[in-house]
């Protein structure tokens, strides 16, 4: 992967430290230094955070960028341009100004800081993938370039479930642990804890009614999904009369037996006793049991695993020429061919970024198209959500239960470099595409499987939604509103799982010595638990959200100021009677760091968001779509977001069609 790549991690941000761990996992030799070493020539890549550096170091970083002798990756809060240029923002402050914080929490409560440094983690993942892409370019084309990654851009990129409402000029609100379009879907109290239960179909609703044996659930108010969403308060209260009679384990077992996505809300300390975590990470579980969680416990949990695609050592690898790689200004992955079989967020996010980096990506959809296409809001029959997650792809509709369509997929895979999917574990094998078969079709294929609990799992048959993974990984335990666990407003487990897959795939593609096929396994629970363990062992400073007349402001402390003191300062500044802007100014005079908590729909009028994050793409009919730029900038081979796919075709001209842009 990144073997023989020498990296200097030189900076104060969490993203630098986390990125170093990720790059080591990908095979790089990483040195962590607080100060610039004397011999810079010993390194290929230098990772910095210039906004956190003193003036003399910022000058040295600028000189390194200008010299063009090293790949320099600069991770900052907001980047060097715009109204917030060079803001030394903390993770929580970026959560606030990006709208991320306002999506987390209950409708009746305050905005909630995500309990892990989400923007720092996201920046570390994206930066590591961008570094791998830059290494590939240097190895194949001799081009050395700089990379800029912003926490603000990473936060905004995570808002794909909320931005569609803003695009349609709607107001985005917090939903707690509920789903805005499905019910029942919530965290429910049990006799000894909490359980997260998610239903999305009428069949699942019928099953939960049968096992709950609560007569009132047969009321006409709950007869349809729409009526259940409208009457969700009454529905949730009735569901909890059932869950409260059971232990969490009993309720989880019942739900698994009837095929519902459900799981307990596990504490971070309780991860060592969570069956799937303990099975997959016995070493980490033992340390938690015997020594507790320290600042390095997270390093014992790998966020991706790679192995040979097959055990067949006699396979004859075929060449996969990348003729487009030498086109001037071509993306880092020009010439790479990708097949994506995915839906919703995880695999589509991977395919979107591979396409932005220059790969040809063909998305395989079911005969009627991906379900998310029809979500509202959108335009011309396609949802904004689908458009945001599937830019720059060719799409094809295949019924993989039909022999002819499986043959078509097989022909595509024979020419592909990468296959990425987020089907239920074993689903692709049942269709005739197990690892051995894939290895025979294409001995050099990189096959990436993303699932909730991994291939080797204590829950081989359990369905997994993002919210369930958040519950079972410690993320919800760390994210609380008035003491009650609450999920991240964004699809955090899905997004982080997709980012881990992106890094692993690009790192594989950066390896010039790769001959055999590679199997990449991503467990979303692994990735989310890695984040939770890091946050638990590396605590952040305290902060509070305070109400103003037009929203909230986020107050943050250093180690000498506790939450009670912050609240007293907010009262003295009379924040409740001030606008956010006035409150921030008043608190600044008192020496208290505060930023406004932005609402998602307000981003559409935010100059920095419009300049640095939002872009416009076109579909095949020439219509314009709002889309999101990638949050990493490669200076000489940039990633580009250009086109929104039309309806899936039934056949492609050849195995891979040229991207229509």
Domain-ending residue, one of 556, 577, 601: 601
Residue 433 lies in a domain: yes
What pLDDT is recorded for position 291?
96
Spatial CA neighbour of 488 closest among 503, 471, 513: 471
In this structure, the answer to whether residues 422 and 281 fall within a common structural domain is: no
pLDDT tens digits for range 221-234: 999 988 999 999 99
In this structure, the answer to whether residues 438 and 574 fall within a common structural domain is: no
DSSP 156-175: HHT-TTTHHHHHTTPPP---
* Alpha-helix runs per DSSP H in 175-231: 202-212, 225-230
What pLDDT is recorded for position 35?
65
What pLDDT is recorded for position 563?
83
pLDDT tens digits for range 13-34: 999 999 999 999 999 999 988 6
Grade residue 434 by pLDDT with cuts at 50, 70 and 90.
very high
CB 545 within 8 A of CB 112: yes
Between 45-59, 557-571, 594-608, 647-661, the lowest mean confidence (pLDDT) is in 647-661
Phi and psi torsions of 301, nearest 5°: -115, 105
Strands 29-32 and 6-10: parallel
Structure tokens at 185: 């879907």
Residue 115 lies in a domain: yes
pLDDT(317) > 60: no
Between 225-234, 377-386, 505-514, 648-657, the lowest mean confidence (pLDDT) is in 648-657
pLDDT tens digits for range 446-484: 999 999 999 999 998 788 899 999 999 999 999 999 999
Give the CA-trace dihedral at 519, 523, 527, 528, to 10 degrees: 170
CB 528 within 8 A of CB 121: no
In this structure, the answer to whether residues 365 and 423 fall within a common structural domain is: yes
What pLDDT is recorded for position 413?
97
Domain that includes residue 284, residue range: 269-300
Start-to-end Cα distance in the chain: 31
User: What's the length of the chain?
Assistant: 661
Mean pLDDT over 222-250 rounds to 95
CB 84 within 8 A of CB 97: yes
CB 498 within 8 A of CB 349: yes
Domain-ending residue, one of 132, 167, 202: 167
Grade residue 542 by pLDDT with cuts at 50, 70 and 90.
confident
In this structure, the answer to whether residues 109 and 129 fall within a common structural domain is: yes
CA distance 552 to 110: 8
DSSP 496-559: HHHHHHHHHHHHHHT-TT--S-EEEEEEHHHHHHHHHHHHHHSPPPPEEEEEETTEEEEEE--T
CA distance 195 to 151: 32
CB 380 within 8 A of CB 621: yes
DSSP 358-375: T-EEEEEE-TT--GGGG-
> How far does Cα 291 stand from its chain's mean position?
30
In this structure, the answer to whether residues 440 and 457 fall within a common structural domain is: yes
Taking the CA atoms of 79, 80, 83 and 88 in sequence, report the sign of the dihedral they define: positive
Residue 322 lies in a domain: yes
CA distance 147 to 418: 24
Say how many C-beta atoms besides its own lie within 10 A of residue 535's C-beta: 26
What pLDDT is recorded for position 399?
96
In this structure, the answer to whether residues 280 and 354 fall within a common structural domain is: no
What pLDDT is recorded for position 398?
96
In this structure, the answer to whether residues 459 and 580 fall within a common structural domain is: no
What per-residue string of b and e applies to 171-195 under the rule 16 or more CB within 10 Å gives b? ebebbbbbbeebbbbbbbebeebbb
Say how many C-beta atoms besides its own lie within 10 A of residue 511's C-beta: 19
Residues facing 117 on adjacent strands: none
In this structure, the answer to whether residues 286 and 408 fall within a common structural domain is: no
Pick the catalytic residue: 494, 511, 606, 608?
494
Residue 410 lies in a domain: yes
Residue 377 lies in a domain: yes
Domain-ending residue, one of 481, 505, 537: 537
Q: What is the strand order of the sheet 394-397 is part of?
A: 305-308, 518-523, 446-451, 418-421, 337-341, 360-365, 394-397
Strands 593-597 and 551-556: antiparallel
Say how many C-beta atoms besides its own lie within 10 A of residue 380's C-beta: 11
CA distance 390 to 4: 34
Cα atoms in the 13 Å half-sphere on the side-chain side of 288: 26
Mean pLDDT over 306-314 rounds to 82
CB 351 within 8 A of CB 366: no
Place of tokens 């259940």: 228
Residue 596 lies in a domain: yes
The number of folded domains in the chain is 4
Q: Collapse the DSSP code of 47 into the 3-class scheme (helix H, G, I; strand E, B; otherwise coil) and give the result.
A: strand
Mean pLDDT over 304-311 rounds to 94
Residue 480 lies in a domain: no
Please state, in angstroms and as integers, the Cα–Cα distance from residue 352 to each residue in 187, 212, 498, 558, following that order: 32, 41, 10, 39
Please state, in angstroms and as integers, the Cα–Cα distance from residue 429 to each residue in 340, 399, 433, 435, 462, following that order: 15, 15, 5, 8, 17
CATH number at residue 311: 3.40.50.10540
What pLDDT is recorded for position 311?
83
CA distance 545 to 100: 13
Q: Annotated catalytic, 3?
A: no
Place of tokens 């079709």: 441
In this structure, the answer to whether residues 379 and 522 fall within a common structural domain is: yes
In this structure, the answer to whether residues 430 and 572 fall within a common structural domain is: no
pLDDT tens digits for range 151-179: 999 999 999 999 999 999 988 889 999 98
In this structure, the answer to whether residues 448 and 385 fall within a common structural domain is: yes
What pLDDT is recorded for position 85?
75
In this structure, the answer to whether residues 159 and 17 fall within a common structural domain is: yes
Provide CB contacts within 8 A for 554, sequence distance 6+: 92, 93, 95, 96, 101, 111, 113, 543, 544, 545, 546, 594, 595, 596, 597
Residue 40 lies in a domain: yes
Cα atoms in the 13 Å half-sphere on the side-chain side of 515: 7
Q: What's the pTM value of the predicted model, to 2 decimals?
A: 0.94
pLDDT(75) > 70: yes
């Amino acid at each position: 992967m990144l073997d023989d790549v020498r990296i200097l991690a030189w900076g104060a941000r969490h993203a630098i430290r986390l990125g170093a761990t990720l790059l080591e996992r990908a095979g790089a030799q990483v040195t962590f230094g607080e100060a610039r070493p004397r011999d810079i020539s010993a390194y290929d890549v230098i990772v910095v955070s210039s906004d956190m550096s003193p003036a003399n170091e910022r000058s040295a970083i600028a000189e390194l960028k200008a010299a063009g002798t090293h790949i320099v990756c600069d991770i900052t809060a907001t980047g060097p341009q715009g109204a917030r240029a060079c803001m030394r923002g903390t993770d929580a402050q970026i959560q606030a100004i990006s709208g991320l914080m306002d999506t987390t929490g209950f409708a009746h409560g305050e905005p909630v800081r995500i309990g892990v440094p989400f923007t720092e983690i996201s920046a570390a993942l994206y930066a590591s993938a961008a570094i791998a892409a830059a290494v590939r370019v240097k190895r194949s084309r001799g081009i050395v370039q700089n990379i800029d990654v912003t926490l603000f851009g990473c936060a905004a990129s995570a808002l794909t479930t909320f931005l569609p409402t803003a695009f349609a000029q709607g107001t985005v609100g917090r939903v707690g642990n509920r789903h805005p379009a499905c019910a029942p879907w919530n965290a429910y109290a049990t006799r000894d804890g909490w359980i997260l239960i998610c239903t999305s179909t009428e069949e699942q609703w019928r099953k939960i009614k049968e096992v709950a044996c609560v007569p009132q659930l047969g009321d006409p108010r709950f007869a349809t999904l729409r009526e259940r969403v409208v009457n969700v308060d009454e529905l949730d209260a009735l569901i909890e009369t059932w869950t409260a009679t059971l232990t969490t384990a009993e309720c989880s077992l019942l739900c698994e037996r009837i095929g519902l996505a459900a799981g307990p809300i596990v504490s971070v300390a309780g991860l060592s006793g969570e069956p799937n975590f303990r099975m997959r990470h016995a070493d980490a579980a033992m340390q938690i049991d015997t020594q507790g969680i320290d600042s390095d416990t997270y390093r014992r949990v790998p966020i991706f695993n790679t192995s040979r695609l097959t055990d067949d050592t006699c396979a004859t690898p075929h060449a996969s020429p990348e003729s487009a790689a030498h086109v001037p200004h071509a993306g880092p992955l020009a010439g790479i061919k990708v097949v994506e079989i995915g839906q919703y967020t995880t695999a589509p996010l991977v395919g979107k970024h591979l396409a932005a980096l220059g790969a040809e990506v063909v998305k395989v959809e079911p005969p009627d198209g991906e379900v998310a296409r029809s979500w509202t809001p959108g335009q011309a029959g396609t949802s904004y959500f689908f458009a945001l997650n599937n830019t720059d792809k060719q799409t094809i509709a295949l019924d993989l239960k039909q022999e002819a369509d499986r043959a078509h997929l097989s022909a595509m895979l024979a020419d592909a470099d990468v296959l990425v999917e987020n089907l239920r574990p074993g689903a692709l094998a049942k269709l005739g595409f197990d690892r051995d078969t894939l290895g025979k079709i294409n001995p050099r294929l990189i096959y990436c499987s993303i699932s909730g609990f991994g291939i080797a799992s204590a829950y081989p048959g359990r369905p997994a939604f993002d919210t369930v993974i958040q519950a079972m990984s410690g993320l919800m335990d760390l994210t609380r509103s008035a003491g009650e666990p609450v999920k991240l407003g964004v699809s955090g487990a899905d997004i982080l799982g997709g980012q881990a897959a992106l890094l692993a795939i690009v790192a594989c593609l950066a390896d010039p010595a790769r001959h055999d096929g590679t199997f990449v396994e991503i467990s979303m629970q692994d990735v989310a638990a890695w984040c939770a363990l890091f946050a638990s062992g590396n605590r952040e400073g305290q902060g509070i959200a305070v109400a103003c007349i037009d929203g909230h402001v986020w107050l943050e402390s250093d180690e000498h100021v506790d939450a009670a003191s912050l609240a007293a300062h907010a009262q003295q500044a009379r924040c409740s009677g001030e606008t956010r802007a006035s409150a921030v100014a008043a608190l600044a005079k008192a020496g208290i760091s505060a930023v406004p908590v932005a609402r998602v729909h307000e981003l559409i009028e935010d100059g920095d968001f419009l300049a640095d994050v939002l872009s416009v793409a076109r579909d095949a009919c020439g219509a314009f779509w709002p889309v999101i730029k990638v949050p990493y900038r490669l200076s000489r081979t940039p990633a580009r977001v250009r086109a929104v796919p039309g309806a899936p075709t039934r056949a492609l001209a050849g195995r891979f069609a040229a991207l229509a842009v």
